[in-house]
Structure 1
Amino acid sequence: MVAEYRFGAGSAGRAADVGRPWNTTEVIGMSSFWKALPTEGRWLLSTVAIQTLGRGMTLPFTIIYLHEVRGFDLGLSGALMSLIAITGLVVTGPGGTLIDRFGARRVLITGLLAMIAGCTLLAYATHPAVATVAVVLIGVNFGVSWPGFNALIASVVEGELRQQYFGVNFALVNLGIGVGGIVGGFFVNVDDPATFTTIFLIDAATSLIPLALLLGPLRRVRTQPDHGPADETAGGYREIVRRPAVLWLTLLTFLSVFIGYGQLEAGFPAFARQVAEVSTQVVGISFAVNTAVIVLLQFAVLRLISGKRRTRVMQVMALIWALSWVALGAAGLLPDSLAAAIGVIAFMGVFAFGETMLQPTVPAIYNDLATDRTRGRYNAINSAAFQGGAIAGPLVAGLLLGAGAQGWFIGVMVAGSLAVGVLALVLERVVPSEASGVPLHRTEEVAGEAAV
C-alpha cells in the first residue's frame, strides 16, 4: 500500500526461507552472524564505530574544555555536564511516546539534528548561556537516541540474533569511544582552544553518518504497524511498569548502572586516585583495558551465553562485578604501590567482562516484552532507569568518599552487585521464558515433560 514497511516480519520470513528458525540457539561465528543479518541490520552495524568516534574524542575532555579552556567556574562546569544527563532523563519519557506514535526514524532524525547543533554551539561557547543551550540540545539527543535506536534495531533484527546484535553493537560502541578517547588525548591542548573546537566539530560531523543512513538506506524502516486497531492492552507508562517483569527488570537496570556505569566516571577514578593513590597514567591504562576486554571478548561471551537464560547470565555477571569491587577495595589497602596499580587495572578488566554479559541481555528482554506499538516506551523505560542510575551513582560516591568512608563505599558496591543477582533471580520467576532467551522449542519440550 505504501513504500514504507516494517522489517521485523520480513527478517523472520527470510530466516524461515533458509530453513533455520529465527530464535535458534545455534552458536554462530562473526561471518555467519553478518550473513544472517538483513541488509538494514548490516547498514546499522557497519557504521557504529565511526559514529561513536567523535563522541569518544569529546567525552573525557568536555569538563576540561569548559573549565580550563573557556574559564567557567568548576562548579558551573560540573553543573553543565549534569544538565546533559538531566535533560536526557526528562526527554526520555515523551521521546518513547513519540517513537510509538510517529516512529523511531523521525524522532531519531530530530535528535541527531539537535546533537549536530549542540556540538557546533559548544565548539564556540565562550559564554555560559551559549554552553547551556548547547548541552541541553546534546541532552535532547541522548534522551531519544537510546530508545530510538534500540527500537529500530528490534524492528530490523529478531530472536536470538537480536541478543547477539546488541552485544556486537556494544563492543563496536566501546571501540569507537576508546579509539576516539586515545586520539583526542593526543590531539587536544588546553593552551590551544582551536584543538577543542576541532574535536567538537568532528563530534557534530560524525552525527551526519546515522542521519544519512536514516534519510537514505533506512528511510523505509518503520518501528510501528502501518495500520490496524489500537492495542488496547498497551496502556501508558504506568500500565507498562505495573507488569511484574518490567518492574523488576527496571529495578535491576537502575541498580546495575548505580553500582556499575554510574561509578566509572566518578567513584572509581576518585577511589583510585585518593585511596589507592595510583597515578593518572594507571587510571588511563585501566580504561584502555576496559575497552580492550569488551572488544576482544564480547563475541566469545555471546557464543557462551547463546541459548542460556538471560536471568542466569545476569546472576553470573553480578558475581563477577562483586569480585571486581573486592579487587578495587584490596587496591586501597596498599596505596601508592605496584599492587595497588595492579588492583585498579584488574578491577576495570574484570568489570568489563561483566559488561559483556549485561549489554546483550537487558535490551533484548525489554524488546522481547514489548509489542510493536509499545516498543518506544519500553526502551524509554530502559533508558530512564539507566540515566537514573548514572545520576545517582556519582552523588552517592561523592558523599561516601568525601566523608572518608572508603570501606563503606566498597561495601555498598559489593552489596549492590549481589543485590543485582537477587533481582535477577526474582525476575526469572516472572519474566516469560521466551523473553529470558529460552528458545520456543525448549519451552515446548519442558511443558510436554511436565504434562507427562
Structure 2
Amino acid sequence: MSAVSARLGRMSSMAQFWHALPREGRWLLSTVAIQTLGRGLTLPFTIIYLHEVRHFDLGLSGALMSIIALTGLLVTAPGGTLIDRFGARPVLLVGLASMIAGCAILAFATEPGIAAIALVLMGVNFGVSWPGINALIATVAHGDVRQQYFGVNFALVNLGIGVGGIIGGFFVDVQRPETFTAIFLIDAASGLIPVALLLGPLRHVRTQGEADVSGEGSGGGYRAILRQPAVLWLTLLTFLAVFIGYGQMEAGFPAFARQVSEVSTRVIGFSFAVNTAVIVLFQFAVLKRLTGRRRTRAMQVMAVVWAASWLVLGATGLLPDSLAAAIGVLAFMGVFAFGETLLQPAVPAVYNDLATDRNRGRYNAVNSGAFQAGAITGPFAAGLLLDAGLDGLYIAIMVAGCAGICVLASVLERRIPANVNGVTAEEPAID
C-alpha cells in the first residue's frame, strides 16, 4: 500500500505542477523528449565516430570535440546580450539553423578540417541555446514552479537522449560508416521541431525586459554581474562540475569504457539508457525533497555521489573485456545519474533567482560560459590523459574535482540570500 500511495502522490504532484504552468510552458515542456531524441543518437558516439570510423587519433578527436564548447564559449556572451535586447526567440532560431547545418556536414566529414567546420556550427547553437532556453523557462515559470520546471525539463531531455542512445547502440556499427551518417542526419532533422515551436505557439513569448530594449538599462553589463562574489563562486562551481561531469560524457567516459574497460558500443548505448531511467524515475521525487531546502547542500551531496561513481568506473579498468566491466560501466552511469538529479534543478535556479528580467539573458550566459569552459577542458584533458595511458590519474582527477565542489558549495552558501538558496519561509530548510 505504501508503494501505491507514493506513486499516487507523485502523480498528483505532477498534475499540480502541470496545471500551474501557462500554455506556453506546457508547449515548451511537452516536446522536449522528442527534440532531444536526435541528440541522443549522436551524443554517446561522436568521439567513436571521429576516432574509429574517420580514423582520427584519440588526442585529435578529443580536441575536435572541444571545438563545440570553445565556439559556444565565444558566442555565449554576445548571445546573452542579444537575448536581453531582442528576446530569446530570434537568437534561438539562428542557433538552430546553425546546428542543423553542422550536423548535416559532420555526417559526411572525412577530413579533420571539414569536421572542425561542422563542430563550429554546432557550437554556435550550443552557445546560445543554454541562455536562450533558460530565459524562456524563467519567463513562463516562477517561484517553486521554476525549480520544478528545470528539474522536469532535465528529466525529459535525458529521456530523449537515453532513448536515442539505446537506438543508436543497436544501430551504429563502426564497420558501416553509413550508419553514423544516418544518425547525424536524423539529429539535424530533429532541430526542425523547436523551430516550429518558436515560429508557432511560442511566437508571442517575450523574454527581454523593457529597460533593455534600447540598451543596457538598469540591468547591468557582464562586468557588474561578475563583480558579485556569489556569481563568481557559483560560476567556478559550475565550471568544475562540468569538467568532471558533463565534459566527460561525450569524450572521457566513452573513451575510457572502450579503451580501458573494453566494453562494446552497445554497452555504452545501454549505459545512457540507465542514466535516463534513473533520472526519469527519481527526478520528481528529488525535486519534492529539494523544495524549501538549501540548494548548496544538494550540490555537496551530488559531489559525494559523483565521486563514488568515478571510483566504480575506475574499477572496471581492472577487469577489461569482461561481464564485470560491462556491469560496472552501467553502474557508473546509474550512480552518476542520481547525482545529476540533485545538481540540475539547483544551479540554474540559483542563477535565475539572482537575475532580473532585464539581465536574465546575461546571467544565463555566464552560467553557459562556465559550462562551455568545463566542456572545453574536460574532453581535451580526457583525450590527453587516456591517450597517454594515464587511466589511474584520470580517475583520481575526477574524484579530486568532486571534493573541490563540496568546498565551493560551502563557500557559496555563505554568499547568497536564503531565498536564492531555495529556503522558503513556508518550509524551512531541513539539514
Provide the TM-score with structure 1 as the length reference. Answer: 0.83
Residue number in structure 2 paired with 1:417: 402
Residue number in structure 2 paired with 1:449: none
Q: What SS does the aligned partner of 1:430 have?
A: coil
Does 2:382 align with 1:386? no
Does 2:9 align with 1:39? no
* Whole-Å separation in 2 of the counterparts to 1:242 and 1:397: 32
Moved more, 402-411 or 30-39: 402-411
Letter in 2 for 1:160: D
Relative distance call for 1:184 and 1:167 in structure 2 (3 A) is same
Q: Show CA shifts across 1:395-431 (max 9, x none).
A: 3334444454444333322221122111111111101
Length, aligned pairs only: 419
Does 2:373 align with 1:362? no
Measured after TM superposition, the shift of residue 118 of structure 1 is 2.4
Residue number in structure 1 paired with 2:96: 112
The answer to whether the 8 Å contact 1:112/1:207 transfers is yes
Could you list the runs of 5+ residues in structure 2 that have no partner in the other structure? 1-9
Among 297, 313, 332, the residue aligned to 1:312: 297
Does 2:134 align with 1:150? yes
Relative distance call for 1:64 and 1:101 in structure 2 (3 A) is same
Measured after TM superposition, the shift of residue 47 of structure 1 is 0.4
Residue number in structure 2 paired with 1:296: 281
Does 2:65 align with 1:93? no
Residue number in structure 1 paired with 2:186: 202
Residue number in structure 2 paired with 1:185: 169
The answer to whether the 8 Å contact 1:28/1:303 transfers is no
Relative distance call for 1:342 and 1:194 in structure 2 (3 A) is closer
Letter in 2 for 1:354: G
Residue number in structure 1 paired with 2:3: none
Among 261, 277, 291, the residue aligned to 2:246: 261
* Whole-Å separation in 1 of the counterparts to 2:398 and 2:346: 21
Q: Show CA shifts across 1:359-379 (max 9, x none).
A: 111011101111111111111
* Whole-Å separation in 2 of the counterparts to 1:394 and 1:294: 23
Among 200, 205, 217, the residue aligned to 2:201: 217
The answer to whether the 8 Å contact 1:332/1:340 transfers is yes
Query: What are the equivalent positions in structure 2 for 1:57-96 lying under 5 Å apart?
Result: 57-65=41-49, 78-96=62-80
* Whole-Å separation in 1 of the counterparts to 2:103 and 2:320: 39
Name the larger-Rg structure: 1
* Whole-Å separation in 1 of the counterparts to 2:318 and 2:64: 35
Residue number in structure 2 paired with 1:102: 86
Measured after TM superposition, the shift of residue 345 of structure 1 is 2.6
The answer to whether the 8 Å contact 1:263/1:394 transfers is yes
Cα RMSD between the aligned structures? 2.9
Letter in 2 for 1:91: V
Residue number in structure 1 paired with 2:143: 159
Relative distance call for 1:273 and 1:34 in structure 2 (3 A) is same
Query: What are the equivalent positions in structure 2 for 1:326-337 lying under 5 Å apart?
Result: 326-334=311-319
Residue number in structure 1 paired with 2:221: 236
The answer to whether the 8 Å contact 2:76/2:127 transfers is yes
Could you list the runs of 5+ residues in structure 1 that have no partner in the other structure? 1-25, 446-452
| Seq. identity, % | 73
Letter in 2 for 1:162: R
Among 353, 356, 363, the residue aligned to 2:338: 353
The answer to whether the 8 Å contact 1:278/1:341 transfers is yes
Among 380, 397, 400, the residue aligned to 2:382: 397
* Whole-Å separation in 2 of the counterparts to 1:209 and 1:244: 39
Does 2:236 align with 1:251? yes
Measured after TM superposition, the shift of residue 68 of structure 1 is 6.0
Letter in 2 for 1:174: N
Letter in 2 for 1:238: R
Relative distance call for 1:268 and 1:306 in structure 2 (3 A) is same
Measured after TM superposition, the shift of residue 57 of structure 1 is 1.8
Q: Show CA shifts across 1:292-344 (max 9, x none).
A: 11122111111221221111111111121122223334444555555444433
Letter in 2 for 1:252: L
Measured after TM superposition, the shift of residue 33 of structure 1 is 1.1
Residue number in structure 2 paired with 1:29: 13
The answer to whether the 8 Å contact 2:211/2:217 transfers is no
Measured after TM superposition, the shift of residue 123 of structure 1 is 3.8
Measured after TM superposition, the shift of residue 347 of structure 1 is 2.0
Letter in 2 for 1:416: G
Relative distance call for 1:47 and 1:431 in structure 2 (3 A) is same
Does 2:422 align with 1:437? yes
Measured after TM superposition, the shift of residue 121 of structure 1 is 3.3
